[in-house]
Structure 1
């Protein structure tokens, strides 16, 4: 039976979860897949096999190469003992039968071996690909079996550990602070994603300014936030998720734990094991040299993975100067809670008190607790974020606070509760003046049939309405004057409200009775996992709908496709035929054609051609 035929049957028998995992592990796409035979051919494609082999370590490759050589020599699938003997004859020593079995199971899970657990039987394409490696400068069986690993990585000197932990904590604090500003900024105004990938340049500059980082760091920090599902792309823009909004209310240590946990959770199993065994060693070039040895065909793919994960480890303080920090070592040992506690102890202590200045600035002598920071941001604009952060209260920031339900009394009460210097007179005056002007312009819903207008603006200040009318930044709202004190727009109340609020007008929303109501800007996106349609799951569902064979017999379409594959491959089959008396007879046939509801094939034992009705065929199997 051909590899395509046997693998198609194997794929069909797998559970949906197993099939999806295999497709993800092998990177098999969904394009052009109409049935399980197409899927089997995609798995057996030489490019797909080569891609899978690049992801295997040296010992697994040696087991596959040894099994392939034995199969080429004898024509049958070798067992574990024969593979062990061959490797031992080449290298003088070999992995134990248990290790070989584990490596074979790994390759079997990636659909590189036949499913029989008692043998090590690579598919023909795998054998051919490994056999061709030396011609392309890749190691053959002897090189895979004989090569010795490079020297162990250099341990981190004890004298450097305190410095490494301090540097790691500084980087962790900087990263969590920058991502905090990223989320706050895209919650206010989402960042547009280009069709070719990457954030649009104007938005990148805006985010870099808000985060106080260089332009190149925006993409790296956005990727870290995306990995932790704090942001997601929706309708072509990056937006904060509900998880991101909750993250902003966590302590600095808890924020780091989410980012570091996502880094560790997405770490590929092979790299996780590799780094977990080197929690107290300097990575650097020694790590890259070891990775090059361990994954001899990894090439750019493995190098890129190591680069991304080691870069983000430095960014998050998991490592510092290419050596794991104390929290990083705990994390790599799969102890996230202990790592979070260790990092929290290294991060600057959070404070709840600030200095209110006469110039309307607010200075925090340390990182603020999430509760205070979130409330203060609703009243003032953040100007700088570091160990000592600063904010500034303005008329527009007070208007924004009042739009979310604050009053002059609640604002002053909150500021008084956190101030170490009382309420300066200029600040008290600003809040009172802004409160007096708040609601000078009102926006509401137009509830009149037969009109395109969806919202209105009204004010007793005709001059202010005139200013709004000629403001070029608001021209997209299409405002039209109805009378001296009223304008209308075809856009919704919320769109008009937030447009004027961002333009710093004293705008307030009102209901049908004229009462001022609080509006909250809803700009959260579903996480990518929650919102996306999984194409692999869709494909599997479609393949299942193609029909399953009933118990004891093969479906007609499945039967014909198996026979077509066997005919093309000139493979012999065991064809089980149901007889009129209820018995089943097995014929050893090499199928030659299928037409008119009948199968023609050469009988290997009788040396005659037989014609069998498809309706009588109860099943197919490999030739005996």
Structure 2
């Protein structure tokens, strides 16, 4: 076999590199009972039927197998189809295909013959049992209902993931060392996303798959792609989720879904998966469940029925899927109602550009089709810290308002802007202190010094200002969250505009290929065909020694004479082996180079 063929079979069979020193160890690992079962679990019914019949018949040809399958199943089976499946088995090293003749390995035969006692199908059942009833086609009225429901779920998923991306950009979520989010972060994200606690992990997984969030140093952060995604329209946002979902489908699930878009799956999907992979068990069930769960979450399906847009996704036509979904999603709006109580109400889903700008100067209170925002001193300070001013904020609000700018709201913005910067935070490199806080209002500075909410900053009075061992940006955002009119400045006293969060950059690391490393190691220790022959003889002798077996060893003597000895091997090494001659009752030491063959004694 070539290196590429070896790598493929080691990877496909899931053979670990641990404990494999040479090709004989690899052969043992491939034929181990659990390794054979793992391989059989991943085979489709038709391929298993070919293997099961090959086990039953003595050294069968492809025509023999096709004929026997016809007898068992009652339907014609071509030799070409049998040949394709036999080649698959040959490539997986479960059988040997020599011309048109199939030979199975003893451990594979033993494993398959044990199946009926384990509740798994034998050859007759594999060949004769027909597929479950075809999936039901949805009626036109059902399809319209499914499309509407799928659009609702697509909108909900996009909205929830948008809140997820926004929330982790504000405050990263910590990943536990054992996996999964901690309970406090899960609750925080669930509240921000307006979902149940158990929905958080699947939605984080969907967002990660679409590269909107990523793990960095044990925390979930927004990615540059996530930042760009937030500025896309809802149909394009959904397209990113659907494309990533479709690209992540496993080969096994793809084979089940091939040619079956636009139908009602229901329990039929699982029944068909069980039929197609009769030994799949929990392995197949987990894949189907994960696929079906995410399909429901993002609106590819609704009530386990494929929508029109979902069918296009399954067919790989994402552009058509987006066009269909765009017709079903609620229209985006670009204007809002500004209220005297400092709230902002949108009459529908806001366009991403307006929503992003509003979030920079207001806190979101509820997220539905009509979202509600609220302007506060702290939120205006946040907008000012990002580089805004009273004039630019008011101009933006006038441009999107259907009701003008109420006087209380205008007063709050102007007053917050006039107070902005009364407290300054800057970097400091003196001793252990990393930052300072100062204000021309001593009373304000005194209030900050005794504020219990700021205790973690460990503020210390020094020379008319406060110092902290924490960096300036940490101190700045702590004061901002505490609703102080704080501004950041550099060492020259110039005001800086800070971005609160950092972006994670997904690192696509080249995955380690243990199969390639194993093949390289095996090739390095392989001395070629001659040495491999000696190694094979030594291996047989070693097995006989461990089992205290008697073997017949054929030795090439000078002059071309071949002599058979009945021996009980005792040790092997240095190109020679020592054994007890059972016929002559003497001990012999013989060179491996003279051994022609070793066969078990009858």
Band of TM-score, shorter chain: 0.7 to 0.9
TM-score normalised by length of structure 1: 0.83
CA shift in 2, pair 1:136/1:505, >3 Å: same
Aligned to 2:113: 131
The residue correspondences of 1:552-571 to structure 2 (distance < 5 A) are 565-569=539-543
CA distance in 2, matches of 1:169, 1:334: 18
CA distance in 2, matches of 1:196, 1:545: 33
CA shift in 2, pair 1:113/1:443, >3 Å: farther
The residue correspondences of 1:100-139 to structure 2 (distance < 5 A) are 100-114=82-96, 119-139=101-121
Partner SS, residue 278 of structure 1: coil
Of 210, 217, 220, the match for 2:199? 217
Aligned to 2:434: 454
CA shift in 2, pair 1:104/1:334, >3 Å: farther
CA distance in 1, matches of 2:340, 2:416: 17
CA contact (8 A) 1:26 1:52 kept: yes
CA distance in 2, matches of 1:410, 1:259: 35
The residue correspondences of 1:356-375 to structure 2 (distance < 5 A) are 356-375=338-357
Of 24, 29, 36, the match for 1:49? 36
2:266 corresponds to 1:290: no
Aligned to 2:585: none
2:489 corresponds to 1:513: no
Larger radius of gyration: 2
Aligned to 1:63: 50
CA shift in 2, pair 1:594/1:230, >3 Å: farther
The residue correspondences of 1:171-190 to structure 2 (distance < 5 A) are 171-190=153-172
Aligned to 2:508: 530
Aligned to 1:163: 145
RMSD: 3.7
Of 39, 64, 87, the match for 1:82? 64
Residue 515 of structure 1: how far off its partner (Å): 0.3
2:527 corresponds to 1:548: no
Of 453, 456, 461, the match for 1:476? 456
CA shift in 2, pair 1:511/1:326, >3 Å: same
Residue 62 of structure 1: how far off its partner (Å): 0.6
CA contact (8 A) 1:65 1:140 kept: yes
Partner SS, residue 115 of structure 2: helix
CA contact (8 A) 2:90 2:97 kept: yes
2:439 corresponds to 1:463: no
CA distance in 2, matches of 1:408, 1:560: 87
CA distance in 2, matches of 1:84, 1:458: 88
Aligned to 1:396: 378
CA distance in 2, matches of 1:123, 1:387: 63
CA shift in 2, pair 1:517/1:594, >3 Å: farther
CA shift in 2, pair 1:417/1:35, >3 Å: farther
CA contact (8 A) 1:251 1:370 kept: yes
Residue 109 of structure 1: how far off its partner (Å): 4.8
2:336 corresponds to 1:354: yes
CA distance in 2, matches of 1:588, 1:227: 65
Residue 216 of structure 1: how far off its partner (Å): 1.8
Moved more, 246-255 or 29-38: 29-38
Moved more, 55-64 or 287-296: 287-296
CA distance in 2, matches of 1:561, 1:526: 50
CA shift in 2, pair 1:25/1:522, >3 Å: farther
Aligned to 1:489: 468
Aligned to 2:250: 268
Aligned to 1:440: 422
Aligned to 1:581: none
CA distance in 2, matches of 1:268, 1:563: 43
CA shift in 2, pair 1:403/1:152, >3 Å: same
2:273 corresponds to 1:299: no
Gap regions ≥5 residues in structure 1: 1-9, 578-586, 603-607
Aligned to 2:548: none
Of 565, 570, 575, the match for 1:598? 575
TM-score normalised by length of structure 2: 0.86
Residue 194 of structure 1: how far off its partner (Å): 2.7
CA distance in 2, matches of 1:133, 1:317: 40
CA distance in 1, matches of 2:280, 2:446: 66
Aligned to 2:228: 246
Moved more, 104-113 or 161-170: 104-113
CA distance in 1, matches of 2:359, 2:212: 19
Of 277, 288, 298, the match for 2:259? 277
Q: Deviation digits for residues 577-613 of structure 1, max 9, x if unmatched? A: 9xxxxxxxxx9999968866424499xxxxx985157
CA contact (8 A) 2:86 2:97 kept: no
CA distance in 2, matches of 1:371, 1:201: 32
CA shift in 2, pair 1:549/1:568, >3 Å: closer
CA shift in 2, pair 1:444/1:539, >3 Å: farther
For these two proteins, the number of residue pairs brought into alignment is 580
CA distance in 2, matches of 1:277, 1:434: 61
CA distance in 2, matches of 1:416, 1:156: 49
CA contact (8 A) 1:169 1:346 kept: yes
Residue 29 of structure 1: how far off its partner (Å): 4.7
Residue 351 of structure 1: how far off its partner (Å): 1.7
Q: Deviation digits for residues 342-385 of structure 1, max 9, x if unmatched? A: 11221111122222222211222221222222222111111122
CA distance in 2, matches of 1:489, 1:554: 74
Gap regions ≥5 residues in structure 2: 546-550, 557-562, 580-587
CA contact (8 A) 2:10 2:515 kept: no
Moved more, 195-204 or 30-39: 30-39
Residue 324 of structure 1: how far off its partner (Å): 0.8
Q: Deviation digits for residues 406-454 of structure 1, max 9, x if unmatched? A: 2222222222222222222222211112112222222222234xx1222
CA distance in 2, matches of 1:49, 1:559: 26
